[in-house]
């Protein structure tokens, strides 16, 4: 499996996900914007907005190559000068506060000296945490992980808890999911086996999230619940701009800014010292924004 074949499979994954989200939303359609990167490569940015369910979403494909910036070489302790990176990354911001924000990405990175690795994951950011929904989400992730290695779920779930943690807020971004990086053939799996795992994670996204969308989209919500959603979206922005490595990599490699920052929500609020009432659903959600929760039980 060479890099061009991997990129082609990722493009097909983007197609499948977009079709599933359009069908489930029932109104909005993706608009595609093809772009080229000055340093080499390009991609397809697909945006959906103002739908029945989805207020704003993006499903991005990219395959970029060129000279590796010194900043990244130093950070990753790499010696090679040229790189190739391809992947699919998506974000969905629903209109209804009872439908969680979701993020997923799968990616492949290769250097001119033959070094390669895969990365990716899925995580869920509910505005109001539903323990049953959280359990169902994690059970499905574990089922995929268990097909490949008995330790994958626990390892990658812990990794997600650590990665999607906002230290200056002392809380997690949501209920996590799985996160993995630097998977290559020194982990006891062949390149094709790792790619199969990565694709299974990518293909899990649409049926998993569309079920969550359908379940919650008709729930009524108040102005107060909408305000809470906008407040919580602020945390999402804080993480993506201050901590997310994918955002940093895209900006450091002179990627397309519009595509990199498409993950930002369409509307957000930062309320100074937001008042959370004792015993409220908002307080109960905040109490569950922590690392190490065994959602499966």
Tens of pLDDT, residues 48-67: 999 999 999 999 999 999 98
Mean pLDDT, residues 164-173: 96
The encoded tokens of residue 177 equal 């999911």
Domains and CATH numbers, the chain: 3-287 (3.40.1500.10)
d(CA 55, CA 67) in angstroms, rounded, equals 37
> What is residue 264's three-state secondary structure?
coil
CA distances from 201 to 98, 170, 208, 236 (A): 24, 29, 10, 22
Distance CA 115, CA 211 (A): 38
Give me the pLDDT at residue 87, please.
97
Instruction: Indicate the helix (H) or strand (E) that contains 73.
Output: helix 70-76
Q: What is the pLDDT of residues 191-243, one digit of tens each?
A: 999 999 999 999 999 999 999 999 988 999 999 999 999 999 999 999 999 99
Q: Which residue is catalytic, options 93, 98, 103, 138?
A: 103
pLDDT tens string 15-34:
999 999 999 999 999 999 99
64/89 Cα distance (integer angstroms): 14
State the Rg of the chain over Cα. Answer: 19
Is 65 an active-site residue?
no
CA–CA distance, 11 with 43 (Å, rounded to integer)? 9
């Amino acid at each position: 499996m060479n890099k061009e074949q991997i990129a082609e499979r990722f493009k097909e994954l983007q197609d499948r996900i977009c079709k599933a989200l359009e069908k489930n939303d029932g109104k909005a359609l993706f608009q595609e914007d093809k772009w080229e990167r000055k340093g080499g490569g390009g991609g397809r940015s697909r945006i959906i907005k103002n739908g029945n369910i989805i207020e704003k979403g993006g499903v991005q494909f990219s395959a970029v190559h060129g000279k590796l910036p010194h900043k990244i070489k130093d950070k990753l302790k790499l010696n090679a000068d040229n790189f190739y990176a391809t992947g699919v990354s998506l974000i969905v911001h629903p209109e209804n506060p009872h439908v969680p924000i979701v993020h997923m990405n799968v990616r492949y990175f290769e250097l001119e000296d033959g070094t390669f690795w895969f990365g990716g994951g899925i995580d869920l950011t509910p505005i109001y945490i539903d323990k049953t929904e959280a359990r169902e989400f994690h059970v499905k992730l574990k089922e995929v992980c268990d097909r490949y290695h008995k330790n994958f779920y626990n390892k990658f779930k812990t990794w997600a808890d650590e990665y999607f943690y906002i230290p200056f807020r002392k809380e997690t971004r949501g209920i996590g999911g799985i996160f993995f990086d630097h998977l290559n053939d020194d982990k006891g799996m062949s390149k094709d086996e790792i790619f199969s795992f990565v694709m299974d994670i990518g293909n899990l996204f649409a049926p998993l999230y569309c079920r969550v969308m359908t379940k919650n989209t008709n729930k009524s919500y108040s102005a107060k619940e909408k305000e809470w959603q906008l407040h919580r979206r602020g945390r999402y922005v804080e993480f993506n701009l201050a901590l997310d490595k994918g955002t940093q990599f895209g900006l450091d490699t002179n990627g397309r800014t519009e595509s990199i920052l498409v993950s930002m929500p369409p509307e957000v609020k930062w309320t100074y010292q937001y008042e959370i009432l004792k015993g409220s659903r908002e307080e109960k959600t905040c109490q569950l924004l922590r690392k190490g929760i065994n959602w499966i039980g």
